[in-house]
Amino acid sequence: MNSAPSSTVASTVLSAPSLRPSRRSWLTSLLAAALAAAAGGCSVSVEAEVPDLAVTQHDIGVTGIPMAGRLGDVSTHFAFTQKLPAIDLPDSVESNVESAKIELTAKHGIEDFAFLKALRVTITPNGSPAPIELLEYEKKDGAVVGKSLLVDTLNAVDILKQWKDTAVFDVQVAGALPASEWAMDLTVHFNGKFSYKY
């Protein structure tokens, strides 16, 4: 991804991050029932599969690169801070949750991600000594990319053990980037297990 001129953009958080409520409510209700049973003197062991827990950062603005069409492939990177929504889990609950996929969704200024040839995403949780690489993507020859781009993460990391409150996402993109400002949503999809024993 070491191509052409690059620029750095500090994105403004334009809307609050979202967590799919059905997953959170289902998980919270299940654990609440387990805790109630434990309080009643019952021996309880609960293990729940979480197939898709999604956290989305909406409308991430990216500054265009003037005359990018004349320069050929260029690259840029931008960063934003994401707050992890409250999942309301008690401290006694063990998690093994991995970042499974990253999904980009085109918003204003672009119709699709056909222009994107390479993508790299890292996350640095608050207090973490070093960034965690989530993915590195290169578009395959002949691949057709539409309004959304879904990419498997590079490393299976129990990210929620480190991401407790806020984290900085750094996104690097390369290709025939737009000359004017554009925006996208970025969603981190998690899966894994929660377990509770009493």
Residue type at position 84: L
> What is the average pLDDT score of the chain?
74
Give the three-state DSSP class for 45: strand
CATH number of the domain where residue 170 is located: 2.60.120
Residue 17 within a domain: yes
What's the distance, CA 137 to chain centroid?
Answer: 14
Residue type at position 175: G
Residue 3 within a domain: no
> pTM for this structure?
0.69
pLDDT of 151-197, one tens digit each? 988 765 666 667 778 889 999 999 999 989 999 999 988 777 666 55
Domain of residue 132 covers 8-32+46-85+94-197
Give whole-number Cα distances, 115 to 58, 75, 106, 179, 193, in Å: 20, 11, 12, 12, 37
Q: How many structural domains compose the chain?
A: 1
Residue 37 within a domain: no
